[in-house]
Structure 1
Amino acid sequence: MVRLLAVIASVLLLVVATPATPAALATNAEPPAPTTVAGPSASQTAVTTTTNNTTETDDEPNGPRLVGLLPNPVTTDDAGEYVLLWLPPGNWTVDDGEGSVTIRQRRAGRVVVTGDPEAPSVPTPWRVVTPGLALSNAGERVLLRRSGPNGSIVDAVEYGRAPEGERWVRDGNPRWQPVGLEFRDPVPLGAANATAFVLPDAPSEPIVPIRAADERVFLAGYTFGSERVAEELIAARERGASVRVLLDGGPVGGVSARQADLLDSLVAAGVEVRVIAGPHARFRYHHAKYAVADDTAVVLTENWKPSGTGGGDSRGWGVTLRSPPAAEALAELFRADAGWRDAVPWDRYRGGRSFERADAATGSYPARHPPAEVRVERVRLLTAPGNAESVVVAAVDDAESGVDVLQPTVEDGPMLASLRRAAERGVQVRLLLSGTWHLAEENAALVDELNRWADAAGVPFEARVAEPTDRYGEIHAKGVVADDTALVGSLNWNPTSARENREVVVALEGEAVAAYYRESFEADWRAGRGVASAFGELPPAVAVGAVGAVAGATLFLRRRLTIEDTDGGRDGTDRDGPVG
């Protein structure tokens, strides 16, 4: 009983000690009748009223619409604010009650109304009309009228306090989005020859392409702490290659002194190093983990540090794609992400900052699952925010025989719901979660909750907590195998990762590549357990009560507790931190 009380008390202590996090933005499909769209607070709401009963397609509206607006850019005197319209041919007027702009439209298309057409925030390549409206940061109503200032109203948008540096997007999810953030479609890349590998078994694989590059190396990551990788980047630069690095400037726990020293050495050697930073950054975290080396691409679940790519701790998945289309698609993504104003040069960012010392992982593990050369029949590049979550859900929804998922932890949402649906239609579903110390109790409660549901529903769904034994330190991979499709990348199964972080995933279709990762999963699965050891010695009835108490507290914590969060995000607000 003492053990039971200790377990429950530890969870309740966390509940009491944890501050609340901001609510997530709620969105609704656009109905034909007037509607109010809920936001994170009453001060950040937008009310959209449509009076012409037009309908929209995925491409463009078929009637005049207010498509977007930027009332509060991060500039002096709000330079660069705009209203974005879609207009058919005719005469139109947009006004905010204090000023108006009349537009003569000769052909259907988008129109940007702004007083500062050269401002970086103004979207292109659409037609620009000046002068603009002086939009209120505190909120107001913007009207679109047919003909002149006294014409009939065909559309209207009313917004509350406008978040600084964010634009309102009519069909966006969320509606308020950082300026500079562009959602991408999945990129089809055709077939490719690939090397599939897992960590810590094959720590040399991530750097093999870098070692061979003589034209370009673009390395993207969340954190960086590998002397070995730094040496290879410097060597590539000395061979004449263009070498660029892009990382997150505000990772959970901060930038370590080890990382700062390594980045200093890269800059001194002529490597371009930038970090995504600042209160108006496009992403909550730059959490992607990939590299482009000439015409080869490497996509990982692991960070560029000893515990990840160094093989010193984490179970991770990775793939090397010998594919010029894949390399160029990731290079284009890198250039876009590194080319906006929130990508700050490292030497400018580090000025006046101090960094904490942190020990590097030094674990050593046997190579039980060697790399394999495989043919991938179809490759797609997925990104978040934007498309990664929906493609993962679609892959699970399309599965007919089996779905295996390896994640540090998961939260309620579309991806977990897709696993339940798969099991309900008879697909064998297995979910393996990390047993590391800071996730063990939460994952144990979730595993018990899911297994109870599966038993009650009579569906083939089983969840386990991983037991690494001597094969790795902890689960850090973010991988899925659904029938003959494997998904490998940085996407954690939580809303922040899917909708606010920069994440990169590759969908790999083919029997050989799916079989490779499923074989690794099988080995890890066999060592897993269905119920946490903390409850193993309790009588069954008492164990049930303990698990229920922890599960209930965990559901509450899932709304309030930030995994690995310390001092909040880069802007000082409460932010959900990625699980590495």
Structure 2
Amino acid sequence: MRRPLVLSAVCLLIILASVQPFSCEASSDRLRLSRVISVGDFEGVTITNYGNAPSDLSDLSICDGEGSVSFTETLTLEPGCSISVLRSEPDSWFICERYLTFRSSAVSQSRFALADEGDQVYIERNGEVLDCFVYGNAEPCAGWTGEPLQKIPRYRYAYRASAFDTDSSEDWRIGTEGMMHVLPESIHEASVIPFAFPDSEGAPVFDALRSAKREIRLCIYTLDHPGVAYILLESMRKGVSVTVLAEGDPAGGMPKDELEILSALSNEGADVRVIKRSDDGFRRYTYMHAKYAVVDSNTVIMTSENWTQSSFSSNRGWGAIVRSESCASTFVSVFGSDSDLSNTDVRRFDEVYPTHTPGRVPPFSYSDSYAKEYPADVVPVFSPDGPFVALESLISEAEHRVYSQQLRVQYSWGETLSGNPVAWMCQAAERGADSRLIIDVSFDNPFDEDTRDGFAVRSILKGEKVEVRCVKGSGSYSMTHNKGLVVDDSVFIGSVNWTSTSFFQNREAAFIIRSAEAADFFSELFLSDWGPDAESISLRLSAEGRPSEGRAFVLSAEDSIVPEGTIFYWDTDSDGIFEREGVKIPVSFGAGVYEINVRAVLSDGSSWKGAWS
């Protein structure tokens, strides 16, 4: 049923914040685009009157460079009010109090179609362009300044976030209904406990959870650590309120162990909720990928790792315990918005899995934690959008060091070197900052046909001053799952991978921690994982036991100076085939002179050769 077209008392609400009119004189020229939705059956735009006088929409046209939609009837838009013009009836998730479809007698449409990959759209009256917007891969149109806004994903729209019109991407954000945006602007005095995985095995996390007296709010991508489950159950028995928000559709599906733990928590009284697509396919974030907990509204636990047993005990990751009531209050607000059951993509666990059997949670103990605590200033950072703003400012101010350790780096960022963290690192290196990037390649092959993996990122950056190493774990950890960054005396810790999805489409959470002590703590970890510089690498071969005819002895390379994770291959008969593997190998020879060749293959795929005779 079509709603009556009454525009006099309707004001647009976008992303939990009401529209603020421009500071301007009364003028019909204060009509502006305020929302653009380009993907889906009901594509279209929202127009808002930012002036302080009514505006007549007659003779107004919405154009995309190829087609147009024109108003054919006299319609008046009151100050601060909006109207959406859409191809068809909107889906239930797209909230608009007043709208017209292309079939309405009040508009006339000719070949107007917004491209999914990118387009330009502008409103004009009598040949005068009043406002314009460009997104995705489209070429900027006359009146637009700078690069386009990024591509608009499905179930998202671009919305005007600035009260001042600059006709640039600075005015716009990507969002959807119920998506709370928090820009990284607040600074909080705090005390911070930095720690690392797998070194700590999660002990600081367990300590912080056990300190709860009133409540624990946990937002997590995956949870199957029995120790975490045991502590949460133990806390509930002491009267602590526990609320969990978990990703309901993680990549590969929700593991059986996680279902059992969430079911056990729900069965014992925890308020367990999952975020996943609603029945009509809508969800606010591509993934709820954050990994944090708020304890008693005064402590925030932040990790790069999922809360799983394997992640805590074998991955390289960073974490921090931040004690600050004001900082915690920001996370409480975001958690409350994200977990609100009025959002159609949030449901209680027992409604989604009513028959799932709770798993048994065994008693749990762990070694004491001896982590140090430091004073710091802390800035909360949330995706969408926050990491882009925060990292551009942080890296652009780097003077001495920029150390980044990443599970994944988007290849196109190294390819374009414009407006992304890789580009900012290259610029820091040009200014003289020691700039180093570690990329995990545990699942990459330098010899396969994948030309956009971690090895490819290293290859494309060879001409830059940023040093790049590809790592497949080491003797002390199995893989790099970190998303950490050290810039001078600041640290960035959280769940944010270096990809566009993580920056702009997921819900992610992170901290910027301004503390020389915390920065040095993680810098030492980074440099240890980096390993010796190339000029320091040395193959040192020796024999254990006295070589003699027919007698077994051991060839050893254990005194070599090489990065962790290096594998040694041996050619003991000078045939060019390296058929033996190991730091040490037992051998025996008959009478004669022999040359033993060894090849050390580093975790990044590079190799060094040596010989012993």
On whether the aligned pair clears a TM of 0.5, the verdict is yes
Counterpart position of 2:423: 417
Aligned counterpart, 1:134:
101
Say which SS state the counterpart of residue 253 (structure 1) adopts: coil
Cα distance per residue 1:282-339 (max 9 Å; x no partner):
111111111000111011101011022xx32101110001110111111111111112
Choose which of 426, 432, 446 in structure 1 pairs with 2:457. 446
Match of 2:54 in 1: 91
Q: Which amino acid aligns with 2:159?
A: V
Which structure has the higher relative contact order (CA within 8 Å, separation 6+)? 1
1:290 aligns to what?
Answer: 292
Q: Distance in 1 between matches of 2:345 and 2:441?
A: 36
| Aligned residue in 2 for 1:55 | none
Listed as ranges, the matches of 1:536-547 within 5 Å are none
Instruction: Name the one with the larger helix percent.
Output: 1
Report the 3-state secondary structure (helix = DSSP H, G, I; strand = E; otherwise coil) of the residue aligned with 2:463: helix
Query: Aligned partner of 2:400: which letter?
Result: S
Q: How does 1:22-171 map to 2 (within 5 A)?
A: 60=22, 63-68=30-35, 83-94=46-57, 97=70, 102-103=75-76, 105=78, 109=80, 111=82, 121-122=94-95, 132-134=99-101, 154=130, 165-169=155-159
Matched with 1:554 is: none
Q: Can you list the C-alpha shifts for 1:159-195, whole angstroms capped at 9, x where unaligned? A: 9xx9874434367798774433343211423221111
Residue of structure 2 equivalent to 1:45: none
Matched residue, 1:360: none
Give yes or no for the alignment of 1:318 onto 2:319.
yes
- Kept in 2: contact 1:195–1:321 (CA 8 A): yes
The aligned counterpart of 1:505 is 510
Aligned counterparts, 1:350-365, within 5 A: 350=353
Q: How far apart in 1 are the matches of 2:314 and 2:529?
A: 15
SS of 1:481's partner is strand
Match among 493, 499, 502 for residue 498 of structure 2: 493
In the aligned structure 2, how far is the partner of 1:151 from the partner of 1:303?
Answer: 55
Partner of 1:408: 407
Length-normalised TM-score, structure 2? 0.63
CA contact 2:531–2:563 (8 Å) conserved in 1? no
Deviation at 1:394, TM superposition (A): 2.0
d(CA) in 1 for partners of 2:529 and 2:367? Answer: 14
> Unmatched 5+ residue regions in structure 1?
1-57, 358-364, 540-549, 552-580
Residue 191 (structure 1) aligned to one of 189, 192, 200: 189
Correspondence 1:427 to 2:433: yes
**What is the aligned partner in structure 1 of residue 479 from structure 2?**
474
CA distance 1:60–1:383, change in 2 (3 Å) = farther
Shift of 1:431: 1.3
Cα distance between partner residues in 1 of 2:370 and 2:472: 20
**Aligned AA (2:300):** A
Equivalent pair of 2:410/2:498 in contact (CA under 8 Å): yes
Partner of 2:601: none
On the 8 A contact 1:490/1:505 being kept in 2, the answer is yes
Query: For residues 473 and 113 of structure 1, do their structure 2 counterparts lie closer, same or farther at Cα, with a shift above 3 Å needed?
Result: closer
The structure-2 alpha-carbon separation of the partners of 1:99 and 1:275, relative to structure 1 and needing over 3 Å to count, comes to farther
Shift of 1:534: 9.9
The 2-side partners of 1:350 and 1:211 are apart by: 28
Aligned to 1:280: 282
Secondary structure of the residue aligned to 1:504 is strand
Q: Does 1:347 pair with 2:345?
A: no
Partner residue, 1:393: 392
Counterpart of 1:210 in structure 2 is 209
CA–CA distance in 2 between the matches of 1:530 and 1:440? Answer: 18
Counterpart residue identity of residue 291, structure 1: A
Give the conservation status (yes or no) of the 8 Å contact 1:199–1:314.
yes
- Length-normalised TM-score, structure 1: 0.66
One-letter amino acid of the counterpart of residue 345, structure 1: R
Secondary structure at the aligned position of 1:209 is classed as helix
Name the SS for the 1:520 alignment partner: helix
Q: Does 1:307 align with 2:310?
A: yes
Cα distance in 1 for residues equivalent to 2:530 and 2:564? 14
C-alpha deviation, 1:344, in angstroms? 2.4
Task: Rate the CA distance shift 1:93–1:73 in 2: closer, same or farther, 3 A.
Answer: farther
CA-to-aligned-CA distance 1:456-512 (integer Å, 9 cap, x gap)? xxx4x3222336433222111111101011100111111111111111110011211
The total of aligned residue pairs comes to: 450
Do the aligned residues in 2 keep the contact of 1:404 with 1:430 (CA within 8 Å)?
yes
The counterpart of 2:467, out of the listed 448, 462, 468, is: 462
1:478 and 1:489 in contact (8 A); partners too: yes
Q: Deviations over 1:76-135 (max 9, x none)?
A: xx8xx98340331223234765775733646xx45456999xx87437xxxx7x5x4235
Q: Say if 2:381 and 2:509, in contact at 8 Å, map to a contact too.
A: yes
Contact between 1:67 and 1:86, CA under 8 Å: does it hold in 2? no
Work out whether residues 222 and 288 of structure 1, in 8 Å CA contact, stay in contact via their aligned partners in 2. Answer: yes
> In 2, Cα distance between the equivalents of 1:487 and 1:430?
15
Quote the Cα distance in structure 2 between the aligned partners of 1:479 and 1:430. 12
Cα gap change, 1:211/1:354 in structure 2, threshold over 3 Å: closer, same or farther? closer
SS at match of 1:327: helix
Aligned twin of 1:30: none
Q: Give distance in 2, aligned partners of 1:198 and 1:91.
A: 59
Residues 93 and 144 in structure 1, CA contact (< 8 A), matched pair in contact too: no
Structure-2 change in CA distance of 1:113 and 1:226 (3 Å): same
Question: Which whole-Å deviations, capped at 9, do the CAs of 1:231-276 have from their partners, x for residues lacking one?
Answer: 2222222333331111212211111111111111111111122222
For the 8 Å contact 1:165–1:178, the answer to whether it is kept is yes
Identify the residue that residue 571 of structure 1 maps to in structure 2: none
Q: Which amino acid aligns with 2:288?
A: H
Secondary structure (helix, strand or coil) at the match of 1:372 reads coil
**What secondary structure does 1:518 align onto?**
helix
Question: Counterparts of 1:465 and 1:349 in 2: how far apart (Å)?
Answer: 41
**What fraction of aligned residue pairs are identical, expressed as a percent?**
25
- CA 1:384–1:163 in 2, change beyond 3 Å: closer, same or farther? closer
User: What amino acid maps onto 2:177 in structure 1?
Assistant: V
| Aligned-partner Cα distance in 2 for 1:366–1:353 | 33
**8 A Cα contact 2:276 2:345, kept in partner:** yes
Q: Which amino acid aligns with 1:65?
A: R
Larger Rg: 2
- Shift in CA distance, 420/432, structure 1 to aligned 2, threshold 3 Å: same
Q: What is the rounded CA distance, in whole Å, between the counterparts of 2:345 and 2:336 in structure 1?
A: 13
User: Is the contact made by 1:444 and 1:532 (CA closer than 8 Å) also made in structure 2?
Assistant: no
8 Å contact from structure 2 (residues 405, 484) kept in 1: yes
Query: Is the CA contact 1:466–1:527 (under 8 Å) kept in the aligned structure 2?
Result: no
Task: Determine the C-alpha separation between the residues in 2 that align with 1:312 and 1:193.
Answer: 26
**C-alpha distance 384-104 of structure 1, shift in aligned 2 (>3 A):** closer
- Structure 1 partner of 2:374: 374
Letter in 1 for 2:387: A
- In structure 2, the CA distance between the partners of 1:401 and 1:305, relative to structure 1 (3 Å rule), is same
Q: Distance in 1 between matches of 2:468 and 2:291?
A: 27
- CA-based RMSD of the aligned residues comes to 4.4
Higher mean Cα deviation, 219-228 or 236-245? Answer: 236-245
Equivalent position amino acid for 2:101 in 1 = A
Aligned residue for 1:318, secondary structure, equals strand
Partner of 1:40: none
Q: Does 1:226 align with 2:225?
A: yes
Q: Does 1:332 align with 2:333?
A: yes
Structure 1 residues 429 and 534, CA gap change in structure 2 (3 angstroms): same
